[in-house]
Amino acid sequence: MSRSRLGEARGNAQGRSGGTGPPGGEPSPLRHNTALLRTSGLVKTYRTDGVTVQAVRGVDIELAVGEFVAIMGPSGSGKSTLLHVAAGLEPATGGEIWLRGERVDGLSTASWAVLRRRHIGFVFQFFNLLSNMTVADNVELPALLAGATARQARKRREELLAELGLAEKANAAPARLSGGEQQRVALARALANEPSLLLADEPTGNLDSSNTRDVLRLLGRAHQAGQAILLVTHDARVASMADRVINLFDGMVADDAKVVPLPRGMNGVRDVLELRG
């Protein structure tokens, strides 16, 4: 929260439920079952030095099974906070989170960890690989933690690394890899347990353009294979691949719309000159 204007606007310490979510009414149970992820009136408040800052102010979002949704918005708009709260990495201050038809916002830290292991893959901007383990161990770990046998974990790891073009790096330390390679390993790790939901926080934020293209291709392929993806990004190339883009502003949803590609039927690259003209 670098923007002081936000602090001022919300500085007056209100109660815990300062959100603008629907007043009290329980949404219909049908919707709980259809959405893979749903938040309702989600609020996240930080208190530092007696100042209260609402990073997320009553956000309702929904993600269907197999859907790819990108969250955009200016820095400080609450995008990353929303993602972290939705993943249970930080507790919500108010509102509800439903995952696979179950309400999860009240879970304990330990229960969240179990839930994430089985159903949520998370990719960070700065990869967050375990530096004292090999690439192979990094990718196998989540499966082992989730109770897979060593043989199963190894098989899955081999498949994933081969698919991401990293088979020959299996025994390397993460630090020996380029940024793009590390992010592909992080993606492999996130996909290791075949999660229902892949969450990613600026997955290309630290990559150059050719590595970005690689990660994009992998995300596209995962999505085509039915992987549900919710990611935060500044990169319009990433966002434009999504089915839907949600734009956050000041901790609230400012826009939520399908990405509608321009009609094809142009003559190809030559039209780019006119496209941009």
Partner 1 sequence: MRQPLLALLAKEPAHGYELKLALEQTFGQAYPSPNIGQVYVTLKRLEQDGLVCSQDVAQTTRPNKRVYELTPAGRKALNEWVEEPSDGPRIRDEFFVKLILAPMAGLADRMALMNKQRRHYLGLMRRLTELQADTDPADTPARLLIEGAVLHLQADLDWLERCLEEFV
Binding site for partner 1 (CB under 8 A): 3, 72-74, 209, 216, 234-237, 239-241, 245, 247, 249, 254-255, 257, 259-262, 264, 266, 268-270, 272-273, 275-276
Judged by CB, which is closer to partner 1: 93, or 247?
Answer: 247
Closest approach, Cβ 266 to partner 1, in A, equals 8
Q: How far is the CB of 275 from partner 1 (least distance, A)?
A: 7
* Structural tokens at position 91: 């507790």
Q: Measured between alpha carbons, how far is residue 101 from residues 65, 98, 231 in Å?
A: 11, 6, 21
CB closer to partner 1 out of 16 and 276: 276
Number of H helices, E strands in the chain: 10, 10
Which one, 140 or 250, has the nearer CB to partner 1? 250
Amino acid symbol at 41: G
Shortest distance, position 72 Cβ to partner 1, whole Å: 8
Separation in Å, CA 239 to CA 61, 89, 181: 16, 23, 21
Please, which residue, 119 or 234, has the CB nearer to partner 1?
Answer: 234
- Nearest approach, Cβ of residue 200 and partner 1 (Å): 17
Q: Which residue has the tokens 């996909």?
A: 191
Answer yes or no: are the C-beta atoms of 269 and 92 closer than 8 Å: no
Q: How far apart are CA 180 and CA 187, in angstroms?
A: 11
Contact 188, 161 (CB under 8 A): yes
Give the nearest distance from C-beta 271 to partner 1 in angstroms. 8
For partner 1, which is the closer residue by CB, 50 or 277?
277
Min dist CB 130 to partner 1, Å, is 33
Q: Which is nearer to partner 1, 161 or 232 (CB)?
A: 232
The Cα-based distances of 107 to 136, 194, 195 in angstroms read 31, 22, 19
Residue 274, helix vs strand vs coil:
helix
